[in-house]
Structures are given as C-alpha cells and as structure tokens.
Copies of this chain bind each other. A is one copy, B any other.
Amino acid sequence: MAEAYREAGAASLTILGVMGEAPKLDQDESLQFLRCVLRHAGGLPAVVGVSAPGYAPMRALAARAMDEGAAAVMIAPPPGLRGDDAALAWLRGAAQAVAPAPWVLQDFPAANGVHLPPRVIAELAADPHCVMLKAEDWPGLDKITALHGMMARGEMRRIAIFGGNSGNFLPEETARGTDGVMTGYAFPEMLVAVRNLILAGRMDAALNAFEPHLPLIRAEIQPGLGLAIRKHVLHRRGILASGALRAPGPRLTAETRAEVDALLARLAQRDPATRRLAA
C-alpha cells in the first residue's frame, strides 16, 4: 500500500489515523506496522497518528515512531472535553507529551464531538512544533478561510492546512488555499491530479477529473461502513491482499459489494485511468 500511494504521487504518508484500524492493534502490532510502512515508503515522510485518551501512551508511541524515522505525529482530542478552554488545555498537554516531535492537529469533530474554533487552533499553532492542521470539520470550508485570514493578518503563526474527509470537498478546499490533502481515498492519483490542475488554474479540467469520483467518495465517507468499502476497493485494485476488516467491524453485504463494484465499473468508464483494477 505504501508503494502504491507513492507511485500514485503521494508526497507523504499518514498512518495509524482515526478512520483506519489503529485502535484495533495492540502495541506490538502498531510498531510492526509502523516499521513496515517506513521500510517501504521509499523516503516519503510519514505522519503517525498517536491519539489516545492519556498522554503516556501518546508519549510512548510518539517516541517510538520518531525513533523509527517518522516525520511527525498526529493528535486528535478525545471525546468528552468540556468547552474551548478544556480542549485547548488538553491539546497543549498532548503537544508537550509528544515534544519535541513535530505534530499535526487533526480537527475532526464528527469523530470526537470536540469543536475547535479558529481562536483555539491559532493558540495551538503558536507551539513551534505544531506544523500542520488536518482540516476535517464538516462543514469546514469557511474555517479554512478564517484561519488563512488570521495567518495573513499576523494573528496566527503560519502552519500548513491540509484537507481530509476523503477528498469530498477537494476542489473547494484547494481553491480556498489549502496546502495539500491528507486522506486515504482509494484513488490517490486523482487527488494529486485535481490539486495540480487547480494550482495550474485549470478548474474546469480539475472538476472533470474530480466529479467521476464523487459517487465513490460519497460511499467511502460513510461512518463505519466507509472503511470496509475503501479496503474492498484497495483489494480490487490489487493494493491490499485482503479487503477484510479486523473484528469488530462491518462486513460488506453482497448487495453493498455489488453496488461498490458497479461504482468502480462506472468510474472506469468515466475515468479510464482507474481501469487498472485487479483481475
């Protein structure tokens, strides 16, 4: 998978994030997975998700990840924080726990119920080790613009902002000025192509490349089931040896598998570059 994403044009990798199966791994498996990916990353920098309810497991995993060659770690807050100041305090402590690792802030309230307004993100970005925001609030485009405005006015230290959410708003977020996209959509080459077209000023061509993928993005972005669909597609593409999720996790019914296969068939018509599926 690492090789496939690199060949697809990815400039970096993110692993052990919250959508995938990181919480289902025990500590030894996490480290084994981490080493395996780094070995096959071909020099691409890798961001390693270390989110946990407490600081000690984050500190331990961050230290191991950096020792193994990770470029940065990623932190999302846990559920249950009471208000902006509680979120700010928790995340400041987390940043200290993983220091001196560079860290990425993941803003994904749909997964944890924690809302981070621009002011809180700006205060966290003041930490010189904070290098990036993974912007996954939904709706979230105006927040990206608000943060860019604060950076332009000198009210916030400059950090990179990458979009996420399976690329669901990739054209809009790129036009709003994001610095990249960090998400595991099963056709990463499309994400690369669309960004490059938009940066080259060719929005119509970008939309022509993007829109055929929207029906599949729509399926992959579903809570819970979306991961099973993504792994099925990666398996169909020959990128994963198996599309099965580790328990506990949903299995695709025959009906859903047929629907996803139909989406892939139609995608192959509309975007011929996607035809190279596994036999």
Contact = CB atoms under 8 A, between A and B. Distances in A.
- Most chain B CB within 10 A, of A25, A116, A138, A247, is at A247
A129 interface: no
A94 B247 CA distance: 9
Given A23-B52, A211-B214, A255 B90 contact: no
- Most chain B CB within 10 A, of A54, A141, A214, A218, is at A54
Nearest to A225: B139
A23 B54 contact: yes
What bracket does the count of chain A residues touching chain B fall in? 35 or more
B139 A266 contact: no
A142 B214 contact: no
B172 A259 contact: yes
Contact of A222 (B139, B212, B214, B226): B139
A246 interface: yes
Contacts of A116: 83
A145 interface: yes
Interface stretch (A55-63, A68-76, A156-164, A186-194): A55-63
17 contacts: A23-B53, A23-B57, A28-B60, A29-B56, A54-B246, A54-B248, A84-B117, A86-B115, A90-B248, A93-B248, A141-B256, A142-B255, A169-B218, A175-B259, A176-B255, A211-B212, A218-B218
